[in-house]
């Protein structure tokens, strides 16, 4: 019997005992290896990919971006292999067109060519949203966890809301923009606040409530269509998954794997709460937005907002609490060792943003930071 044939509670109970599939979309920048400006060579780079890897690539909004998509995976070692395959192939393709592939989440120096990719949909978005559609490129990491029941997916998104600022802080990887330190760990997150259809997902009662909310936002002009539901967590419009979109693209494949393991465990843990009849907390919108701003601002280098207690706490205390909360799911999925090792590495060396700032503080300048990031992009 499929999940869709079960009641919501039965679907949640069945799902929470399973090991859901996981897949990842990663967006990368193409940078000039001398000036480190963005270069608009995405079409040429995608053409240079081997055919099998070209099928995993997607045209993105900006001409300086390449998106690579993993296959659907059942375990983290399998996901890691595919992520590295994607990164190696995309880096080689970038080199053939005179660019470096860099896993950095915001344009670090500048983007002379601000045209969007010439597709009818992207052109319509550019016309509707005006100048914000021509902001320099931003790159995210989107984790998909298989949740084939739509009603359960809505309830899972509700339960993810208090924890996503912690995931956001773990992945902060864009402190530089315009050649200078912005003072934010994730400039990508700050810049995306200009878009009206991005940010925390609202608390929704059901799939019907989701459809009604989206219809209302389209009717008001906030969204052009349902594909522009770009909340930090959403039921995917394309796949039977919950898609978590809050993360900056991570510097290394190993960093991405840690995030994917945590997100998968968090989805399964929230589903268990749904099955047990434990409702997700209804976090006020202003507090949720504040928690995300704080995560983007400080990363893991200071405090984060504990949305359950509604107070500031040391960032790593909340990371440890998240790990403890999802511990049963990590064990069930066989992911605890990989996630724990990755978090230990992050605790020792810092987020991508912290590592960039450490390199910069050693006198390397932005060019040195980006040289290191380009090398890290294809490292384990």
Would you say residue 231 has pLDDT above 50? yes
Identify any residues that bridge with 123 across adjacent strands, giving them in sequence order: none
Specify whether the CB–CB gap between 170 and 300 falls below 8 A.
Answer: yes
Q: What is the largest CA-CA distance in the chain?
A: 61
pLDDT tens per residue, range 312-364: 999 999 999 999 999 999 999 999 999 999 999 999 999 999 999 999 999 98
Task: Write down the mean pLDDT value for the chain.
Answer: 95
Query: Average of pLDDT values for 262-286?
Result: 95
Specify whether the CB–CB gap between 80 and 253 falls below 8 A.
Answer: yes
Specify whether the CB–CB gap between 26 and 20 falls below 8 A.
Answer: no
Would you say residue 12 has pLDDT above 50? yes
How far apart are the C-alpha atoms of 304 and 317, rounded to whole Å?
9
Structure tokens at 317: 């205390």
Predicted TM-score of the model (pTM): 0.96
Specify whether the CB–CB gap between 140 and 27 falls below 8 A.
Answer: yes
Give the model's confidence band at 5: pLDDT under 50 very low, under 70 low, under 90 confident, else very high.
Answer: low
Query: Average of pLDDT values for 168-182?
Result: 98
CB atoms within 10 A of CB 190: 20
Burial of 362 (0-12, 13-18, 19+ CB in 10 A): exposed
How far apart are the C-alpha atoms of 95 and 102, rounded to whole Å?
11
Give the model's confidence band at 145: pLDDT under 50 very low, under 70 low, under 90 confident, else very high.
Answer: very high
Percent of the chain surpassing pLDDT 70: 98
Would you say residue 310 has pLDDT above 90? yes
pLDDT tens per residue, range 53-97: 999 999 899 999 999 999 999 999 999 999 999 999 999 999 999
CATH topology of domain 3-377: Creatine Kinase; Chain A, domain 2 (3.30.590)
Specify whether the CB–CB gap between 352 and 172 falls below 8 A.
Answer: yes
How far apart are the C-alpha atoms of 250 and 168, rounded to whole Å?
11
3-state secondary structure the chain: CCHHHCCHHHHHHHHHCCCCCEEEEEEEEEECCCCCCECCCHHHHHHCCCHHHHCCEECCCECCEEEEECCCECCHHHHHHHHHHHHHHHHHHHHHCCCEEECCCECCCCCCCCCECCCHHHHHHHHHHHHHHHCCCECEEEEEEECCCHHHHHHHHHHHCCCHHHHHHHCCCECEECCEECCCCEHHHHHHCCCCCEECCCCCCCHHHHHHHHHHHHHHCCCCCHHHCEECEEECCCCCEEEEEEEECCCCHHHHHHHHHHHHHHHHHHHHHHHCCCCCCCCCHHHHHHHHHHHHHHCCCCEEEECCCCEEEEHHHHHHHHHHHCHHHHHHHCCHHHHHHHHHHHHHHCCHHHHHHHHHHHHHHHHHHHHHHHHHHCCC
Would you say residue 1 has pLDDT above 50? no
Give the model's confidence band at 6: pLDDT under 50 very low, under 70 low, under 90 confident, else very high.
Answer: low
pLDDT tens per residue, range 291-306: 999 999 999 999 999 9
Specify whether the CB–CB gap between 160 and 243 falls below 8 A.
Answer: no
Domain residue ranges of the chain, discontinuous segments joined by +: 3-377
Question: For residue 212, what are the contacts with CB-CB under 8 A and spacing of at least 6?
Answer: none
Distance between alpha carbon 81 and the CA centroid of its chain, in Å? Answer: 19
């Amino acid at each position: 019997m499929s999940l869709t044939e079960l009641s919501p509670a039965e679907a949640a109970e069945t799902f929470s005992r399973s090991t859901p599939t996981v897949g990842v979309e990663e967006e990368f920048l193409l940078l000039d290896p001398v000036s480190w400006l963005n270069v608009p060579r995405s079409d040429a780079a995608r053409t240079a990919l081997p055919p099998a890897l070209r099928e995993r690539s997607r045209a993105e909004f900006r001409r300086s971006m390449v998106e690579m998509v993993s296959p659907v995976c059942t375990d983290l070692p399998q996901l890691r292999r595919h992520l590295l395959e994607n990164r190696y192939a995309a880096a080689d393709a970038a080199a053939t067109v005179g660019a470096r592939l860099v896993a950095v989440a915001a344009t670090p120096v500048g983007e002379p060519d601000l045209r969007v990719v010439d597709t009818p949909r992207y052109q319509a978005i550019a016309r509707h949203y005006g100048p914000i559609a021509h902001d320099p490129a931003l790159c995210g990491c989107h984790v998909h966890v298989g949740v084939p029941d739509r009603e359960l997916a809505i309830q899972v998104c509700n339960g993810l809301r208090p924890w996503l600022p912690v995931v956001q802080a773990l992945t902060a990887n864009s402190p530089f923009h315009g050649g200078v330190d912005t003072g934010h760990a994730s400039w990508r997150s700050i810049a995306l606040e200009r878009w009206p259809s991005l940010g925390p997902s609202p608390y929704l009662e059901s799939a019907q409530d989701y459809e009604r909310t989206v219809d209302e936002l389209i009717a008001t002009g906030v969204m052009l269509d349902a594909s522009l539901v770009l909340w930090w967590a959403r039921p995917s419009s394309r796949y039977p998954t919950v898609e978590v979109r809050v993360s900056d693209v991570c510097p290394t494949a190993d960093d991405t794997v840690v995030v994917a393991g945590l997100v998968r465990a968090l989805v399964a843990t929230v589903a268990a709460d749904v099955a047990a009849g434990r409702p997700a907390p209804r976090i006020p919108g202003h507090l949720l937005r504040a928690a995300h701003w704080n995560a983007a601002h400080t990363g893991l280098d200071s405090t984060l907002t504990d949305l359950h207690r509604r107070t500031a706490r040391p960032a790593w205390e909340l990371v440890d609490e998240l790990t403890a909360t999802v511990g049963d799911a990590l064990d069930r999925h066989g992911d605890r060792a990989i996630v724990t090792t990755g978090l230990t590495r992050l605790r020792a060396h810092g987020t991508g943003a912290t590592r960039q700032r450490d390199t910069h503080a050693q006198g390397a300048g932005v060019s040195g930071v980006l040289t290191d990031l380009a090398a890290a992009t294809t490292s384990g």
